[in-house]
Amino acid sequence: MTVPTATIRESRTVLTGVSWQTFKALLAEIGEDRNCRIAYDRGTLEIMTPYAGHEEPVALIEHFITAVADELGIEVRQLGSLTLERSDLTRMVEPDTCFYIQNESLVRGKAEIDLNIDPPPDLVVESDYTRYSLNKLEIYASLGVPEFWRYRRSTLQVYQLIAGKYEQSDRSLAFPFFPIAEAPEFIAQSQTIGQRMATRYRSREGYGSTFISPTPSINFTRVRSVK
């Protein structure tokens, strides 16, 4: 059964009763050169084609995160809409963007990420202007993604994976000092003065002094002088 939906110029199609084998065959047929994002959860397939209002906040958050990493002098690996799948769970999802931060060194230089042997991204980000047909939180939790950010209705919501379930938090696991409440202001500012100018302005304002890794043996610290 097919149930097409469309709101805010965003095209979304849901197919139910789709086997994993059929889903994989469809993916192979569509190929990687496509402008849609796909999610699959145990028989239900969702195909979404985003529009500019969906993509822009994601791009700005990407700029913000990479600027923070530059300020801290730490390595991050940004992999965009990386296909995250586990055939044993019959689940697959493509985030709007994702980052390896704490586990960056474990996947550095790898051409392919296999979640059966590699860790999942440390952080995934999604811009949610419409209601998902699938429960993305459950999918990401089953894949073991430690942190999930959702930008929705001019609010940045942060979730941390705790005991197999996501709990909303007022701080980031990867970047504890990240000004979550200020993200909507940053996005609005970028629409007035431009993306790069807003990022540079935020960089001059400063992002904090310490990056705390959830792995106790790893602690990144920097000393920064404000000019």
Place of tokens 């106790």: 216
Closest of 21, 30, 36, 18 to residue 94, by C-alpha: 36
63 with 173: CB under 8 angstroms? Answer: no
pTM: 0.79
Residue 24: the pLDDT is 96
Per-residue pLDDT of 148-171, as tens digits, reads: 999 887 788 999 999 999 999 989
Q: Amino acid letter at 209?
A: S
In degrees and rounded to multiples of 5, residue 140 shows phi and psi of -65, -35
Domains parsed from the chain with CATH numbers: 51-221 (3.90.1570)
Q: What is the pLDDT of residue 147?
A: 97
Low-confidence ranges of the chain (pLDDT < 50): 1-8, 207-227
Q: Can you give the pLDDT at residue 219? A: 37
**76, 101 Cβ separation under 8 angstroms:** yes
- pLDDT at residue 225 in the model: 33
